[in-house]
Amino acid sequence: MRKIRIAIIGAGLASTPHALALKELNDEVEVVSVVGRSPERLKHFASTYGFPVSESFDAVLADPRVDAILVLTPPHTHLEFVEQAAAACKHVLLEKPLDISMARAELAVQACRDAGVQLGVVFQNRFRPAVQRLAALAESGALGRLAYAGVDLRWWRPQSYYDEPGRGTYARDGGGVLMTQAIHSLDILMWLAGEASSVVSASATTCLHSMEAEDFASAALTFESGAAGQILATTAAFPGFPERVELIGDNGTAVLDGGHLRVFFHDGRFDEFDDPSSSGFGAKPMDFSHTAHRDLLRDFFGASHEDRASLVTGDDALRVQRLIERITNPKGQRQ
């Protein structure tokens, strides 16, 4: 199988785990070029990882060697990059979220569908070993009929994090803790529990941060399966704690704290699995291993080559973003 040839758009904070992962995948994926907005940052990124630099995004689109484009730019720029890439018949792997609004997110998904190209989204937590073990457990029916599914994310970000231009704003990020941090755990929740039929929610900006969007959100859910659900997400919980995903079934309960999975069965059996890798829940957002990114990249580029669906699709990301919209904007007042 020949290598998949890709271009990277963006050389900011999100680029490091991708670059580390791509270096490990160099037998499968070739980075043809990198494009970035900041010449200094682009030069440093390209020289650090040995990637060639392209003169422009237009040059990337016109390059017949490029099979797929990895978009790592701020959320408010995603739609335009996706539309242009799709029009050039390039597959797209997109950092979360799809874009800053449901309308723009839906257009991004539709652009790839119309062009017949793959659209993947970077929800790398699906590839963490403990999450995959939990997913296999849920899919097997070992927990029985689902009664409850919940997410508890109590992370910490200092004010200096939100002092960076655009952080926590609707214009650039599309929201706060839900869109930027908790979105990964919400993806896991919906992957395992399905759609929510009802949502009752509250969101706020606490006194710990000066920012436009929410740093706290909570919701009570009812899933279409009839199971109850709950979400709590904040970046105001110093010093930060591993996120928790909990599933309660009529045969047992599974609790995932970060990478530590415990399963308690009604018949007395107990199962435990530990993945020591972090998820960046404290003051250092990038304090996590790149291995989940590596596995996500391998899955997406393999799917593109084999013409099959990747584990995380644009439609999956739309479901999560729609839930976030229902929590933070229940009356549809913000555009």
Give the Å distances, CA to CA, from 330 to 68, 127, 131, 335.
Answer: 36, 31, 29, 12
Give residue-wise pLDDT tens across range 35-64: 998 888 899 999 999 999 998 999 999 999
Would you state the pLDDT for residue 335? 45
**Cis ω for the linkage preceding 64 (within 30 of 0):** no
Domain covering 4-124+293-312, topology: Rossmann fold (3.40.50)
Q: Are 228 and 214 in contact (CB under 8 A)?
A: no
pLDDT at site 333: 52
Would you kindly state where each structural domain of the chain is located, as residue ranges?
Answer: 4-124+293-312, 126-284+317-328
Decide whether 4-124+293-312 matches 126-284+317-328 in CATH topology: no
pLDDT in tens, 246-293: 999 999 999 999 999 999 999 999 999 999 877 788 888 878 899 999
Q: Mind listing the pLDDT tens digit for each residue in 69-100? A: 999 999 999 999 999 999 999 999 999 999 99
What confidence tens digit (pLDDT) does each residue in 236-253 have? 999 999 999 999 999 999
Right CATH for 126-284+317-328 from 3.30.200.20, 3.30.360.10, 3.40.47.40, 2.60.120.260: 3.30.360.10
Q: Within 13 Å and on the Cβ side, how many CA atoms surround 328?
A: 29
